[in-house]
Chain A
Amino acid sequence: MTYELSAEHEAFRKSVREFAEAEIAPHAAEWDRKHHFPSDVVQKMGSLGLMGLTAPEEYGGAGLSGEDGGFTSLCLAIEEIGRVDQSMGITLEAAVGLGINPILTFGTEEQKQAWLPDLVAGRTLAGFGLTEPGAGSDAGATKTKAELVDGPDGQEWVVNGSKQFITNSGADITSLVTVTARTGTRADGRAEISTIIVPSDTPGFIAEPAYDKLGWHASDTHPLTFTDARVPEANLLGERGRGFAQFLATLDDGRVAIAALAVGCIQACLDMSLQYAGERTTFGVPIGAKQGVAFQIADLEVMLRASRLLTYQAAAMKDAGRPMKEFKQAAAVAKLYATESAVTATRIATQVFGGYGFMEEYPVARFYRDAKVLEIGEGTSEVQRMLIARGKGLPVE
């Protein structure tokens, strides 16, 4: 058996690569330095159809079947964008995985009609507010509350609380955030969690000033506060009390997409290291002639191939509609292995560049800073290991 991407997927990879090289690569360093979120370029990714790869045609998406490999094509796009700029890679990943997916998967027809066309076209962005100051890995510990009360035009949800580290939540083109909130107490005494759509212009909803992050400088991340933020009852996303199940499902796809972003990072590390190892000479020969350097680059090639296979195999399982349990395991394995490899790869690439690798003048330094968060977002490495071990039947807490 061989595992290869289709000719169409390869043609698409080329198309996204040309886009990334022309529209993103020349500016990535400057956006990083200035912590600038380039809304116009994000919208250009939208024009290229990158946000609509997994959406049906009726909302402006590509309308692909699983057989066409829609999810695989999204992973390819994230990888190729991430190869030149991890910030724009995560922006795309979050726009689809965290922004569009919850509405597409769980939204009512009215909600889809209202929000998806602009999101799918990339004219606007949506954030997904799950994490809170006191609820990260333990997302069920959500404190944010939403109460149904009488309003002037019928019942309204009143949202109070705060969210932490929310991607794409405060850009000038952000149209909404979906937030998980406690909407009551279940019969078993545990919190009932639901998801509410909060449009960006809702009074009482504030995207606080952006974080000063170690990496992903050009990605938009904010803390959010909700102070009596009122939205119509119809803004409940899907069913009441399903919030927990909704975000767990949302995160599975996201894991594979993050793995794809990590693959892009490893590819960048390999490309940069390979070139530099041929150019830089010490003791009269290119450093690539030294086993100490060459063997590290060989390791990069191994990490790249292994991560890529795990990632696209998981993506293909999603496209093929394989059983959820099988896919979840593959997604966690791909995320864990690819992201940890990416961090190692950036460490190796920086080492190959020597002192120059520590200078912001070279993109290696940016990738070094950007990689770390891959092991944290959308489920930390520890959480992935926990899921994988549980998948093997171990009773891990």
Chain B
Amino acid sequence: MNIVVCVKYVPDATADRKFEDDNTVDRVGVDGLLSELDEYAVEQALQIKDKQADDTEVTVLSVGPENATDAVRKALQMGADKGVHVVDDAIAGSDALATSLVLAEAIKKIPHDLVVCGMASTDGGMGVVPAMLSERLGVPGVTLGSEISVEGETVKIRRDGDASTDTIEGSLPLVLSVTDQSGEARYPSFKGIMAAKKKPVETWSLSDLGVDAGSVGAGAAWSVVESTDARPPRTAGEIVTDEDGSGAKALVDFLASKKFI
């Protein structure tokens, strides 16, 4: 089986994150890493590979700036077999539609039975790329799986919703997205890190994919971030003191006013 895992290089959430002058996320001048939510996707792909115990191959695919190779490299260190990095200046500022276009065109050039994605990126956080990919590739989209099994041509997931737990099945080829409940991602071992040195990473540009530069990037985006403001600093909490038995009511009122209940 051939598995493609889509991974995103995102700014490190523990470091300083900034926006560019055009309100797009600064992805070059800040420390970045493989999106944590995509680590779950890599993990699931590797678990499927381990269980198949055949010549299943896992290819990691990332669309992103120069240093996005770090994200690809990390996935290779975890155990993926090879990498593809689509990098092109014209891609900067792309929205989810354009990103999914580039990903889909790249995936078409890679042998694939199963495409695995994380549930969302840790920066944009829209979570729409997997569904867009399934549409663009014309294959089923089985999304938000928190437990995944593959048997023959069938992929089965458990999806935990607020009101129900669903079991969903689809047949290959398909696009799968997995949640942060699907199982902790492995840490790269030293053996994996050494092995990754020798694994191939191909770099493709938009012209390699036959994608018109005008259909991606900030200029082609369907939505624009008009302004950004830093979140105001956290305010001090409110302490409810129960002196005359009215404490419970004060608590309930507070929770209700914040729409927690």
Contact between A48 and B193 (Cβ–Cβ < 8 Å)? no
Distance in angstroms from B183 CB to nearest chain A CB is 13
A8 within 8 A of B: yes
Contact between B191 and A49 (Cβ–Cβ < 8 Å)? yes
Beta-carbon contacts under 8 Å, A1-57 to B: 8, 11-12, 15-16, 18-19, 47-49, 52-53
Distance in angstroms from B1 CB to nearest chain A CB is 24
Contact between A8 and B193 (Cβ–Cβ < 8 Å)? yes
Contact between B187 and A18 (Cβ–Cβ < 8 Å)? yes
Distance in angstroms from B69 CB to nearest chain A CB is 13
Distance in angstroms from A84 CB to nearest chain B CB is 14
Distance in angstroms from A13 CB to nearest chain B CB is 10
Contact between B197 and A49 (Cβ–Cβ < 8 Å)? no
Contact between A62 and B187 (Cβ–Cβ < 8 Å)? no
Contact between B190 and A64 (Cβ–Cβ < 8 Å)? yes
Residue in B77, B189, B194 whose CB lies within 8 Å of A48: B189
A208 within 8 A of B: no
Q: How would residues 22 to 48 of chain B score, 1 for a CB under 8 Å from any chain A CB and 0 otherwise?
A: 000000000000000000000000000
- What is the chain B residue whose CB lies nearest that of A11? B193
Chain A residues with Cβ below 8 Å from B190 are 8, 12, 15, 49, 53, 62, 64, 70, 73, 77
- What is the chain A residue whose CB lies nearest that of B73? A11
Contact between A15 and B191 (Cβ–Cβ < 8 Å)? no
- What is the chain A residue whose CB lies nearest that of B70? A11
Contact between A15 and B194 (Cβ–Cβ < 8 Å)? no
Chain B residues with Cβ below 8 Å from A48 are 186-187, 189
A136 within 8 A of B: no
Cα–Cα distance between A73 and B186 once the two chains are bound (Å)? 18
Contact between B77 and A11 (Cβ–Cβ < 8 Å)? yes
Cα–Cα distance between A298 and B190 once the two chains are bound (Å)? 33
Beta-carbon contacts under 8 Å, B73-87 to A: 77
Q: How would residues 183 to 205 of chain B score, 1 for a CB under 8 Å from any chain A CB and 0 otherwise?
A: 00011111111100100000000
Cα–Cα distance between A47 and B186 once the two chains are bound (Å)? 9
A117 within 8 A of B: no
Q: Which size class do B's interface residues fall under?
A: 10 to 19
- What is the chain B residue whose CB lies nearest that of A12? B190
Contact between B188 and A68 (Cβ–Cβ < 8 Å)? no
Chain A residues with Cβ below 8 Å from B192 are 49
Cα–Cα distance between A16 and B189 once the two chains are bound (Å)? 8
A63 within 8 A of B: yes
Distance in angstroms from B195 CB to nearest chain A CB is 9
Contact between A15 and B187 (Cβ–Cβ < 8 Å)? yes
Cα–Cα distance between A62 and B195 once the two chains are bound (Å)? 10
* Majority secondary structure, B binding face: helix
Cα–Cα distance between A16 and B191 once the two chains are bound (Å)? 13
* Majority secondary structure, A binding face: helix
Distance in angstroms from B48 CB to nearest chain A CB is 18
Contact between B194 and A8 (Cβ–Cβ < 8 Å)? yes
Chain B residues with Cβ below 8 Å from A73 are 190
Contact between A68 and B194 (Cβ–Cβ < 8 Å)? yes
Cα–Cα distance between A30 and B193 once the two chains are bound (Å)? 32
Cα–Cα distance between A49 and B186 once the two chains are bound (Å)? 11
Contact between B197 and A8 (Cβ–Cβ < 8 Å)? yes
Cα–Cα distance between A52 and B190 once the two chains are bound (Å)? 10
Distance in angstroms from B190 CB to nearest chain A CB is 5
Which of B77, B188, B190 has the most chain A CB atoms closer than 10 A to its own CB? Answer: B190
Distance in angstroms from B15 CB to nearest chain A CB is 14
Contact between B188 and A11 (Cβ–Cβ < 8 Å)? yes
Which of B188, B193, B197 has the most chain A CB atoms closer than 10 A to its own CB? Answer: B193
Chain B residues with Cβ below 8 Å from A52 are 191
Chain A residues with Cβ below 8 Å from B77 are 11, 15
Chain A residues with Cβ below 8 Å from B197 are 8
Distance in angstroms from A50 CB to nearest chain B CB is 8
Chain B residues with Cβ below 8 Å from A53 are 190
Distance in angstroms from B104 CB to nearest chain A CB is 31
Contact between B189 and A49 (Cβ–Cβ < 8 Å)? yes
- What is the chain B residue whose CB lies nearest that of A65? B194
Cα–Cα distance between A62 and B193 once the two chains are bound (Å)? 11
- What is the chain A residue whose CB lies nearest that of B197? A8
Chain B residues with Cβ below 8 Å from A47 are 186
Contact between B191 and A64 (Cβ–Cβ < 8 Å)? yes
Chain A residues with Cβ below 8 Å from B191 are 49, 52, 62-64
Q: How would residues 162 to 189 of chain B score, 1 for a CB under 8 Å from any chain A CB and 0 otherwise?
A: 0000000000000000000000001111
Q: How would residues 181 to 204 of chain A score, 1 for a CB under 8 Å from any chain B CB and 0 otherwise?
A: 000000000000000000000000
Cα–Cα distance between A48 and B193 once the two chains are bound (Å)? 12
Beta-carbon contacts under 8 Å, A243-258 to B: none
Distance in angstroms from A46 CB to nearest chain B CB is 11
Distance in angstroms from B71 CB to nearest chain A CB is 13
Cα–Cα distance between A302 and B121 once the two chains are bound (Å)? 42
Chain A residues with Cβ below 8 Å from B193 are 8, 11-12, 15
Known: A8-B193, A11-B77. 14 other contacts (CB 8 A): A8-B190, A12-B189, A15-B187, A47-B186, A49-B189, A49-B190, A49-B191, A53-B190, A62-B190, A62-B191, A62-B194, A64-B190, A64-B191, A64-B194
Question: Can you report 30 A-B residue pairs in the complex whose CB atoms are below 8 A from each other?
Answer: A8-B190, A8-B193, A8-B194, A8-B197, A11-B77, A11-B188, A11-B193, A12-B189, A12-B190, A12-B193, A15-B187, A15-B188, A15-B190, A19-B187, A47-B186, A48-B186, A48-B189, A49-B189, A49-B190, A49-B191, A49-B192, A52-B191, A53-B190, A62-B190, A63-B191, A64-B190, A64-B191, A68-B194, A70-B190, A77-B190
The 3 closest A-B pairs by CB, nearest first: A49-B189, A62-B191, A73-B190
